[in-house]
Amino acid sequence: MTTAAVFSPFLERHAVKKYDPNAKMSRDEIKKLLEIAQQAPSAWNLQPWTFLVIDEPEAKQKLLPIAFGQQQVVDASMTVAVLGDLEAQRNAESVYQPAVASGMMTAEVKDRLVGQIESAYANPQTARDQAFLNAALPAMQLMLAAKSMGYDSCPMGGFDATKLSEAFRIPDRYIPIMLIAVGKATHPAYPSTRFEVDAVTKWNTF
């Protein structure tokens, strides 16, 4: 594979607003997309996120006013609500126990890590910061994977998080981070510009 082919999803991905409402993604396609997103890294490997997939017509219509009327949540094949886990410390045992069972980690190391994690998550601000920081990683990976699969996407921060949680019965453990519409574009993304690398880069110090 050429370098151009490798980088094409990164260079061709843009936030598309207009989608073909007749284009559907199969559940197998959606699962494959989420499997790729799930490979994103996370602090302590806690994977502090959950994906709420909204792909049925009634659910899309329910989402529309919550997303302040952004039509892409209806017309796109699906919208994924990326949720951050405020209680990700509860994942620690299931993350590390297999490593202990396989001999790759000692029980003492596991217990020390679990203790560090529980201490960190005792601070609600840390839990919130970790939720936002880590959930952004699979969100970006999902959009790049969608482009690689021939779909376009649109990340959205404009929505009512409280109403989203209420309407879709999201437990208090999870905090909505962003919405990502995924589907087949009918119009290209609006033109956008990017700063030159030199404008956003400092070397070693300011």
User: Which domains, ranges and CATH numbers included, belong to the chain?
Assistant: 13-189 (3.40.109.10)
List per-block mean pLDDT (blocks of 10 residues) for the chain, which spans 206 residues. 79 92 96 97 97 98 98 98 98 95 96 96 97 97 96 97 98 98 94 92 97
Query: At what angle are helices 92-101 and 107-121 packed, to 10 degrees?
Result: 170
One DSSP character per residue, 106-151 reads -HHHHHHHHHHHHHHHTSHHHHHHHHHHHHHHHHHHHHHHHHHTT-
Q: Measuring CA to CA, how many Å separate 91 from each of 49, 51, 81, 96? A: 11, 16, 20, 9
Report the pLDDT value the prediction gives residue 10, as an integer from 0 to 100: 85
Report the pLDDT value the prediction gives residue 3, as an integer from 0 to 100: 72
Which stretches of 38-193 are DSSP H helices? 57-66, 72-75, 92-101, 107-121, 124-148, 161-167
Residue 124 CB contacts under 8 Å (≥ 6 apart), including other chains: 86
Report residue 139: phi and psi, to 5°. Answer: -60, -45
* pTM greater than the 0.85 cutoff: yes
91, 85 in Cβ contact below 8 A? yes
Report the pLDDT value the prediction gives residue 1, as an integer from 0 to 100: 64
Report the pLDDT value the prediction gives residue 11, as an integer from 0 to 100: 83
